[in-house]
């Protein structure tokens, strides 16, 4: 009988730890989905405005190799 009680306690602890682990991933997934939605909305606004993101340019002298 004592072994049966021990088995029930172990099973209860295992089930509860699995339930807690699942809830955390749901929150993370929801946060990732919200961030994706925000970035897609911002991207669409930029596309509608027709503005382009700035491109980095080199200001160093001698970097142009067209004279070779």
Q: Give me the pLDDT at residue 4, please.
A: 85
Q: Residue 50: pLDDT above 80?
A: no
Q: What is the pTM of this model?
A: 0.41
Q: Give me the pLDDT at residue 13, please.
A: 81
The dihedral formed by the CA atoms of 35, 41, 43 and 45, expressed in degrees to the nearest 10: -150
Q: Where are the domains of the chain?
A: 1-49
pLDDT higher for 50 or 45? Answer: 45
- Mean pLDDT for 35-64 is 76
């Amino acid at each position: 009988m004592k072994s049966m009680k021990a088995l029930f306690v172990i099973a209860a602890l295992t089930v509860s730890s699995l339930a807690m682990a699942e809830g955390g991933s749901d929150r993370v997934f929801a946060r990732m989905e919200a961030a994706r939605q925000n970035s897609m909305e911002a991207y669409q606004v930029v596309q509608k405005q027709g503005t382009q993101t700035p491109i980095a340019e080199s200001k160093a002298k001698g970097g142009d190799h067209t004279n070779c």
